[in-house]
Amino acid sequence: MLFKGFEGAKELTRAEQKNVYGNDIRKYRDEVCYSQEQMANQLGITQSAYYKIEAGAVKITIERLEQIAKILGKPIEAFLQKEKYNEQLKSEQKVYINLTELELLQNTINQQQNRIEELEAKLKRRDDKIEKLKQQING
């Protein structure tokens, strides 16, 4: 699958190349605890060639970047549109925080509903006791 806007492109342009961050490739590689040698083996290249990719010393093709993204379990956008991808991560984090807040609110609502049920039961017992006392007085 090619990245949107790059259909038919074999090599990244200079502007696109500047948007591929070798440090990000390394960071994502470190996240999955792969060595440069392991990455190179999976890509079918030498460790030296892989090092040059991370160092930004060689031009990288879309196909190669797609392979790297797949190995690292990241969408290709993580390497090409850093700002947009970071915004997406922030957005997902906000959703996660909002879901956590929602869960806390739901727990609070459940506790309040339980308290209301307890108070209603207490009122019923009081009303029953009042009715019993009235019967004793009148009866």
End-to-end Cα spacing for the chain: 88
Give the three-class secondary structure for 22.
helix
- Phi, psi angle pair for 96, to nearest 5°: -60, -45
CA distance 3 to 69: 11
pTM given for the model: 0.49
SS3 category, 61: strand
Q: For residue range 83-139, what is the model confidence (pLDDT) as tens digits?
A: 555 665 666 555 555 677 788 889 999 999 999 999 999 999 999 999 999 999 997
